[in-house]
Structure 1
Amino acid sequence: MTSQTTPIELHYWPTPNGWKISIMLEELGVPYEVKYVNIGKGEQFEPAFLAISPNNRMPAIVDPDGPDGAPISVFESGAILQYLGRKFGRFYPADERSRVEVEQWLFWQMGGLGPMAGQAHHFRIYAPETIPYAIDRYTNECNRLYGVMNRRLADRDYLAGDYSIADIASFGWTRSHERQGQDLNDFPNLKRWFDAMQSRPAVMRGVELGQEHRRNLAGDKEASKVLFGQTAR
């Protein structure tokens, strides 16, 4: 197993995507240093951050002990989880069949659960006007995705069998289930998984990181302009 002597830089804000990496680093028990990126104030557009995360989104990491001994930066939460899993040989199996199992559910979260839940949050909480069709569309899609997880977890403890980066990726978005109009009591297998995730000390340390910075941005017009008014310019 690879050891880490120099802290990994975590460029972070306490959101479901940010939690993926703080949880992973806590689970690994490796040294890391937090660099807060206040997304409500537009710090994600600063040149120094764009140099490591050109999509102007956090999280991102800089690992001073890269694969060839030189620093490496990684953006996109799923790619970061894969990188850390490969480097430290944990929560991301080396066996190809097992790895594919994990990757299916990691990409399911990246392409489905995260974006759909994010849209549900937006139209249910942050949108400046109530749009019933959009609220129903994304609330219902979250409900469908929760049903997919519930069926998957009927005969296993975790999404890919053993605890993995797929579970780490999915937890933060299900933690916000009430904001998506979902009741975990409607999904008993998912609720069992959710409770098991919350019982892991490293998971809770990960989601508690930087909670003093987290606030409800609903109604904050300036923050909304920064977060939701972005164009190519």
Structure 2
Amino acid sequence: MSHGKQFTLYSHKGGPNGWKVVYVLEELGLTYETIYLDFGKGEQKAPEHTKYNPNGRIPTLVDHKNNDFAVWESNAIILYLVEKYDPEHKISVAGFEERMQQLQWLFFQASGQGPYFGQAGWFNFYHHEKLPSALERYQKEILRVFGVLETVLSKNEWLVGNKCTVADISFIPWNQTAVTRLVADYNGFNFEKDFPSVAKWHKKLLEREAVKKANAVKEAINQ
């Protein structure tokens, strides 16, 4: 790549999974260039992208200082970044047990948050017909996931290691989408009242400088 930065990130302007990678890149002070793929034109399935990611989805990260090593799946990318570029454990943990807990939450985010929140978005905004029962199923799953987080965060400030880590950061984009769009008008939903510890945690995450910087870019390109 000719941009001279360490990483190329293949992403999408609105896709939540790409933005959590950006948060981690910003937290670690790493340089990157983002290529926003146009799904309407099928660019995510084009050879220029699938040569790095055979799944043809985003995000994909290419590390030009590591022989153009490519990683796809957002939480795999996050783990690659902290394993290789966070030796001081700024946003990761060091001990074996805590690392397993960090993995636990990243797996839960990838399997328990992302797919269910994504399906709520699909049936709310994109499905060709309205299916209230399907939408309600996934909205209830959003509340269930918030409940799991509330149980832990009512006793702890952060998910792992008594500090903000990638485990926490990975939840930001889908949580933000949920509270502003997916369940904003669901059965009197009130984030601060229903899940006060999660709401407080989410607010602290949004106030981090790296997150604010990334979100400012996101807002600007999506106007």
In which range does the TM-score fall when normalised by the shorter chain? 0.7 to 0.9
Distance of 2:40 and 2:114 partners within structure 1: 19
Deviations 1:107-151 (A, max 9, x none): 100001000000001111221211011011101011100111111
Distance of 2:64 and 2:170 partners within structure 1: 24
Distance of 2:77 and 2:6 partners within structure 1: 15
Which consecutive unaligned segments of at least 5 residues does structure 2 have?
Answer: 185-189
SS at match of 1:11: strand
Q: Quick one: higher RCO (CA 8 Å, sep 6+), 1 or 2?
A: 1
Contact 1:44 1:58 in 2 (8 A): yes
Residue of structure 2 in register with 1:165 after alignment: 166
Residue of structure 2 in register with 1:35 after alignment: 35
Residue of structure 1 in register with 2:76 after alignment: 79
Q: How do residues 125-204 of structure 1 correspond to structure 2 at under 5 angstroms? A: 125-160=125-160, 161-177=162-178, 178-182=180-184, 183-185=190-192, 186-204=194-212
Pairwise CA distance, 1:71: 2.3
Distance of 1:21 and 1:180 partners within structure 2: 22
Q: CA RMSD in A?
A: 1.6
Distance of 1:200 and 1:210 partners within structure 2: 15
Contact 1:78 1:110 in 2 (8 A): yes
Pairwise CA distance, 1:19: 0.7
Aligned-partner residue type, residue 184 of structure 1: F
What is the total number of aligned residue pairs between the two structures? 208
Pairwise CA distance, 1:212: 4.1
Pairwise CA distance, 1:6: 4.6
Deviates more, 1:177-186 or 1:95-104: 177-186
SS at match of 1:159: coil
Contact 1:63 1:73 in 2 (8 A): yes
Residue of structure 2 in register with 1:108 after alignment: 108
Regions of 4+ moved over 4 Å: none
SS at match of 2:39: coil
Distance of 2:182 and 2:23 partners within structure 1: 22
Distance of 2:169 and 2:101 partners within structure 1: 14
Q: How do residues 60-75 of structure 1 correspond to structure 2 at under 5 angstroms? A: 60-66=60-66, 70-75=67-72
Aligned-partner residue type, residue 79 of structure 1: A
Deviations 1:41-81 (A, max 9, x none): 31101101001111111111100122xxx220000001000
Contact 2:5 2:33 in 1 (8 A): no
Pairwise CA distance, 1:191: 0.4
Identity %: 35
Which consecutive unaligned segments of at least 5 residues does structure 1 have?
Answer: 216-233
